[in-house]
Amino acid sequence: MRENTPTAGRSSSRWQRFIDRELLRLSQDRAPVIMTVLGVITGLLAGAVVIAFRLLYESGQGVFLAGGPERFETLEGWQRLTLTIAGAALIGLYLQWLARAGARTGIAYVIERTAYHQALLPVRNAIHQFVAGAMAIVSGQSVGREGPSVHLGATAGSQVGQRFGLPNNSLRVLVACGTAAAIGASFNTPLAGVAFAMEVVVMEYTIAGFLPVIVASVVATALAHGVFGADIAFVIPALGLQGLHELPLVIGLGLAVGGLAALFIRALRLVSGLLRGWPVVARAALGGGIVGLIALPVPQVMGIGYDTLAATLNGEIGTGLLLAIIAGKLVATVAVLGLGIPGGLIGPTLVIGAAAGGALGLFYESLMSAPFGGMALYVLLGMGAMMGATLRAPLAALIAMLELTANPGVIMPGMLAIAAATMATRELFRTDSVYHLALGERGLDPRRNPLLQAASRLGVLQIIDTRLTVLAPAPTEDALHAGLAQGSNWLLQIGDDSTSARLYDAQVLARQLADGQRPSGGDEVITLDARASLREALERLRTAQAEALVVTGRGGRDQTDFLGVVSRSAIQQAYLASSPPGS
């Protein structure tokens, strides 16, 4: 630390003033143009990473599968079993010997880092997600590609913000940009990507954060169109209800799928707690072995399952096989994810939901004498209901149904099925979303404290009190009077090391001097980086049991600037000022 004024060591050039002004606007969540530009950059980067991820695992599958990606049915039974066990063991070796401390991956990890660690996502974990996730899909494990894709995209957004030195509250928006971009590029569902980012990852909708997230999703999806084409995932005829008499059937489907979602979530959490003392390699190999054994009679459980979804929508699978897919895919996914193989679960939930919807659709059709919407409609409703209930993301599930099939006739029945499934999972079976249940087991739930959530959106720069005078070590009484004469609210006495720094409240100091008292030693200085959010300031004040902290920035030649003071009362006043009347 060194003696300076709040702006000492900082360039007074027009460019520096522009940067300071924009950083302040970013901390206030009021810089839509800059955030939109950063959203474009994030969309390009996240889209490129997700495209590279998809090309990697599709080319890897091409080595084993003569029929093309996802065609695990073309393999012999012993080949399927060998592939899943060997692939899982290889993943376990990678996680145990190379990943180690950076082995935590997936959407739950992204949510935790966003809510509790200022959206700071490290590159190391993303690299391990890229490698291990690709190996899991190539070797036919029952996992999806969206979990790795979201982790990669969110990390891309976080790294963009970190490289530009943005306030931490802006990193949340960029993580949402990367999430939406990843979903859009991976599934050709840009709007569902936006809804997923807002509902699942940042868990809020804000006007300021919406625009850059939309732009990032569009940019990444357009980039993916240039590589994979713009075709929708599933081409099916126009679907829709044939009358109001089908509404009870839709509700029944939603309730049944809601129970299936609760079973899936509870089973996954149960298996995740088993065999924790086993080596990672053994756990992973066991999970792969379970997948391989199930795949002997039901090869449709292997891989992401988009080919199985297409066959189900086209009515190519009978009731017996649909029931086998429901049970097999559920058990295989629970085993492989619960025992530690990194991968996504949205793809498997879509397959499970589609199979359940198809089986119910065939059952309904056998009973109906009145006009009927057809099996494909109920397959699609099952997909959306399972996704919405499992993730507790009804809007993202509804939009995904629409974008994956370009079929607007599913909107109204889809809303009803998703609502019924979500309510059944939550109220009848008392089960939280799969991600928040996992966080809750560790004592974490970012939804519990709305004040901290709101504080995460804003930076400390917007409430910083810059009326700070920096004093030399051991100031004389004349120096204290001179500091007060400058109209400062705070006086900072610095020394040769941080332990000798002291912060004085100017009002308290003025009273002491006026009464002829010897000035007290001041408060111990607690510092906070200028990029911090109000949430970080609150947590730092609580931990230190302090009333104020000094905000610091980087000056020239790696020196520290003292920018001002943030007090507990200022944070409280800012919260009250932003709260609606009567709240």
DSSP state string for 115-170: HHSTT---HHHHHHHHHHHHHHHHTT-S-BSHHHHHHHHHHHHHHHHHHTT--HHH
Residue 496 confidence (pLDDT): 61
**What CATH superfamily classification does 25-230 receive?**
Clc chloride channel (1.10.3080.10)
Instruction: Check residue 7 and give its pLDDT.
Output: 41
b/e per residue, 214-252, with b = 16+ CB within 10 A? Answer: bbbbbbbbbbbeeeeeeeebbebeebebeeeebeebbbe
pLDDT of residue 14: 75
pLDDT for residue 11: 44
Distances from the Cα of 176 to the Cα of 105, 207, 378, 415, angstroms: 17, 13, 31, 24
Of 366-370, 450-454, 524-528, the range with the lowest mean pLDDT is 450-454
pLDDT recorded at residue 527: 87
Q: Which of 427-431, 523-527, 562-566 has the highest mean pLDDT?
A: 427-431
How many CB atoms are closer than 10 A to CB 184? 34
How many whole angstroms separate alpha carbon 308 and alpha carbon 525? 62
Question: What is the location of CATH 3.10.580.10 in the chain?
Answer: 460-578
- Cα separation, 479 vs 509, in Å, equals 12
Average pLDDT, the chain: 87
Whether the predicted pLDDT of 426 surpasses 80: yes
Cα–Cα distance for residue pair 79/71, rounded to 1 Å: 13
Strand order in the sheet with 560-567: 527-529, 548-554, 560-567
Q: Kindly tell me if the per-residue pLDDT of 488 is higher than 90.
A: no
136-179 pLDDT, tens digit each:
999 999 999 999 999 999 999 999 999 988 888 889 999 999 99
pLDDT of residue 577: 63
pLDDT digits (tens, 9 = 90+) for 65-82: 877 788 898 899 999 999
Q: In this structure, which CATH number among 3.10.580.10, 3.40.640.10, 3.40.50.720, 1.10.10.10 belongs to the domain 460-578?
A: 3.10.580.10
- Residue 333, token pair as written in the block: 């996914």
For the chain, what percent of residues have pLDDT higher than 70? 91
Separation of CA 193 from chain center: 11
What pLDDT does residue 128 have? 94
Is residue 228 predicted with pLDDT exceeding 50?
yes
Lowest model confidence (mean pLDDT) among 182-196, 441-455, 520-534: 441-455
- Measure the CA–CA gap between 289 and 367, rounded to whole angstroms: 40
* Predicted confidence (pLDDT) per residue in 338-378, tens digit: 999 999 999 999 999 999 999 999 999 998 888 888 899 99
3-state helix, strand, coil in the chain (%, to 5): 65, 5, 25
Write out the residue limits of the CATH 1.10.3080.10 domain(s) in the chain: 25-230, 244-440
pLDDT of 72: 92
Structure-model confidence comparison of residues 442 and 268, the more confident one: 268
- The confidence band for 544, taking pLDDT boundaries of 50, 70 and 90, is confident
pTM over 0.85: yes
CATH domain 244-440 topology: Clc chloride channel (1.10.3080)
pLDDT above 90 covers a percentage of the chain that reads 55
What pLDDT sits at residue 115? 87
pLDDT for the residue numbered 71: 87
Looking at per-residue pLDDT, the higher value among 399 and 444 belongs to 399
Return the minimum-mean-pLDDT range out of 18-27, 222-231, 239-248: 18-27
pLDDT confidence of residue 5: 38
Per-residue pLDDT reduced to its tens digit, 177-223: 999 999 999 989 999 999 999 999 988 777 667 899 999 999 999 99
Tell me the mean pLDDT in the region 541-545.
Answer: 87
Residue 449 CA, chain-centre distance (Å), reads 18
Mean per-residue pLDDT, 403-415: 92
**What pLDDT does residue 10 have?**
44
Tokens coding 30: 């009021």
**Lowest-confidence segment of 7-16, 238-247, 294-303, 313-322 by average pLDDT:** 7-16
Summarize the confidence of residues 397-402 as an average pLDDT: 94
Tokens of 187: 């599934």
**Residue 6 in this model has a pLDDT that exceeds 70:** no
User: CA dist 571 to 323, 531, 547, 561, Å?
Assistant: 56, 16, 11, 22
- Band of pLDDT at residue 413, cut at 50, 70 and 90: very high
